[in-house]
Amino acid sequence: MVNPGINRGKVAIVGAAESDLGEVTPGLTPMDLMAQASLRALDDAGISVREVDGIFASGVQTRMAGVHLAEYLKISPRYHNGSFSGGSVFETMVGDAVAAIQAGLCSVALIAYGSTQRSASMAGSGPARLIGIRTYDPLITPFGPRMPMSSYAMAASRHMYEFGTTREQLAEVAVSARKWALKNPVAWEKEPLSVDEVLGARIISSPFTKFDCCLVTDGGGAVVLVSAERAASLRRKPVYVLGVGDGVTHYEIHSMDDLTRTATIQSSTNAFAMAGITASDVDVVELYDAFTINTILFLEDMGFCAKGEGGAFVSEGRIAPGGTLPVNTNGGGLSYGHPGMYGLQLLVEAVRQVRGECGERQVADVNIAVAHGNGGTLSSQSTVVLGGADTL
Amino acid sequence: MGLDDRIAEAPMAHYQKRLEAGELAYQFSPKAGRAIFYPRIACPYTGSTNLEWRKSSGRGTIYTLTKLFPSNARSYAVALVDMLEGFRLMTRIVDATAEDVEIGARVALAIRPGENGDACPFFVLEGK
């Protein structure tokens, strides 16, 4: 039995919100945005901030994020978790929050994130330009990769070598994300993008041009979780946590055994097993597209297509609006925004799709949504399966 | 060295000392029967602290790569190289422009100083 201590459908996300996005008002701090998103998510849920007794927060700019958020909002949590595992940490924290609520460690769990990565890198020079800057590593630095881009680029190169994945197929991922973004009023990118524009752009780290790489924006988000019992009396349609799963294969890319197979295989296998679903049951996928290869790798590893067939799968508009599998309906890290870590935004969009409140980009009849987070350099992976009342 | 013994030499310090002496050193775990890289205090496969230092042949094959094109310098390839001894490392292929380097190419060790002066395991295309 997968995840025997927690149960499918016993905890629900009842509030979800973004902070200000894109390029926020100068001087705002990551904690300002984290608090804004938190209060918006609590308002969405109809729960007072005074009821929060579980805090889960993380960030690149915010050390001790959970403790800091407790101070900022004068919350005295019974349970708090400020761990860091890269952008997937917020999907991991959904599992942690489910466990904490089911174990009675807290009853109202707030998961929150905030970042001013764009503003900070525009304002500063030197180290301030690169948030989360890497220190000298004799196993990496002397060889001149641009991190993290070069790590993902090496995965893409290997995928192309082994499976014949093409440069055009990678571009299809960026083009599909852009088509979704044009339907999302809060997405950063506002202009159409073509395969030719992707291919013709400046090479960042081959095979990637700048359009294969995620944006650098400000932003944040928050979600609120309570027991299914409590959720039934709240004002929003509960979005139930059906399954969670995690996996780690390495920290740095030099220690990843197979650059074409990620820990998503493990995380999604466990999350889908707990949820009692297969890939074919999923109506919409929100996955961490820090780079175009991510979408191909994660769709393969989650079982939406066979290993090596991801390039063909994402082509011909199959993951774009009107395609057979809607992927990254908010525009993704590639075109909606990528505030340092993107994992929380995946949850917000997945919740909204299940609730059916996405307007022009709403996918019809969403019962099951997957939010899949990635952290580090394909290092940590976390899959969350969410569903509406019909899935219980 | 046993688990309860005080660690007498940092693994990465030993590795760097050997590089400065012109050798690419790696660890071998007799218990796991395989090479270990990067240098560490124990075998990650077995937990054994009984590790042997060995000298690499310096020969390997490019597993994957990425090419960078700085505006003010020569293009170059950063690669992950699978060494004959069964370990993998990150490196840069030197004495070649990025266009000359492909996955599957055989490469040979060329220890040279990095930007900070420390000896680093760069590689060149074999037979070039």
Q: Is residue B6 situated within a structural domain?
A: no
pLDDT tens digits for A151-169?
999 999 999 999 999 999 9
pLDDT value of position A127: 43
Residue A276 has pLDDT above 90, yes or no: yes
Query: A214 vs chain B: nearest CA distance in angstroms?
Result: 18
Please give the ipTM for the structure prediction.
0.97
In a domain, B1, yes or no: no
Contacts of A141 in chain B (CB under 8 A): 114
Taking the C-alpha atoms of residue A166 and residue A372, their distance in angstroms, rounded to an integer, is 24
Indicate if B46 and B81 belong to the same structural domain: no
Q: Is A312 on the interface with B (CB under 8 A)?
A: no
Q: Are residues B48 and B76 in the same domain?
A: no
Residues of B in contact with A153 (CB under 8 A): 66
Token look-up 């390039």 returns A311
Residue B4 falls within a domain, yes or no?
Answer: no
Q: Does residue B17 sit within a domain? A: yes
Model confidence over A216-243: pLDDT tens digits? 999 999 999 999 999 999 999 999 999 9
**Residue in chain A lying closest to B98 (CA):** A206
Question: Would you call A201 an interface residue with chain B, using a CB distance cutoff of 8 Å?
Answer: no
Q: How many CB atoms lie within 10 A of CB A260?
A: 23
Coil, strand, or helix at residue B65? strand
Question: How far does the CA of residue A141 sit from the closest CA of chain B (Å)?
Answer: 9
A229 — contact with chain B (CB < 8 Å)?
no
Q: Does A141 touch chain B (CB under 8 A)?
A: yes
Q: What is the pLDDT of residue B128?
A: 67
Query: Looking at the complex, does the CB of residue A203 fall below 8 Å from at least one CB of chain B?
Result: yes
Tell me, which fold does domain A11-120+215-391 have in CATH? Peroxisomal Thiolase; Chain A, domain 1 (3.40.47)
Q: Which of A85, A37, A49 minimizes the C-alpha distance to A347? A: A37
Same-domain status, B20 and B37: yes
Q: Could you tell me which residues are beta bridge partners of residue B83? A: B60
Rounded Cα distance, B115 and A293, in Å: 31
Number of A–B residue contacts, CB under 8 Å: 79
Q: Give the angle subtended at the CA of A167 by the CAs of A161 and A172, to the nearest 5°.
A: 130
DSSP H or E stretch at residue B108: strand B106-113
Same domain, B47 and B77: no
- What CATH number is attached to the domain comprising B108? 2.40.50
Query: In chain A, where are the structural domains located?
Result: 11-120+215-391
If asked whether residues B121 and B70 sit together in one domain, one would say yes
Residue recorded with tokens 């991510």: A294
Round to whole Å and give the CA distance between A297 and A288.
11
B108 and B72, same structural domain?
yes
| Domain co-membership, B48 together with B101 | no
pLDDT in tens, A255-275: 999 999 999 999 999 999 999
A288 pLDDT above the threshold of 50: yes
Q: Which two tokens stand for residue A121?
A: 């890198």
**SS3 assignment, position A70:** helix
Q: Which residue has the tokens 């310090």?
A: B13
CB contact under 8 A, B115 and A157: no
Q: How sure is the predictor about A132, in pLDDT bands with cuts at 50, 70 and 90?
A: low
Q: Taking all residues of chain A, what is their mean pLDDT, rounded to a whole number? A: 96
pLDDT tens by residue, A370-384: 999 999 999 999 999
pLDDT of res. A237: 97
Enumerate the β-bridge partners of residue A80.
A55
Rounded Cα–Cα distance for residues B26 and A289 (Å): 35
Whether the Cβ atoms of residue B82 and residue B88 lie closer than 8 Å to each other: yes
Same domain, B44 and B86: no
- Sorting pLDDT into bands at 50, 70 and 90, what band is A123? confident
Instruction: Tell me if B68 and A140 make a contact (CB, 8 A cut-off).
Output: no
Which residues span the domain enclosing B30?
11-55
Neighbours of A4 (CB within 10 A): 7
For residues A173 and A168, give the distance between their C-alpha atoms in angstroms, rounded to a whole number: 9
Residues B48 and B89 in one domain: no
What CA–CA distance (Å, rounded) separates A132 from A366? 37
Give me the number of domains chain B comprises: 2
Tens digits of residue pLDDT in A298-327: 999 999 999 999 999 999 999 999 999 999
Q: What DSSP character marks residue A46?
A: T
Residues B47 and B92 reside in one and the same domain: no
Residue of B nearest to A145 (CA): B78
Confidence of residue A121 (pLDDT cuts 50, 70, 90): confident
Considering only residues 250 to 269 of chain A, which have any Cβ-Cβ distance to chain B shorter than 8 Å?
A: 253-255, 259
Same domain, B46 and B32: yes
Smallest CA-to-CA distance from A205 within A133, A144, A264 is with A144
Whether residue B70 is found in the same domain as residue B110? yes
Q: How confident is the model at residue A105 (pLDDT cuts 50, 70, 90)?
A: very high
Query: What is the tens place of the pLDDT at every residue in B18-62?
Result: 999 999 999 999 999 999 999 999 999 999 999 999 999 999 999
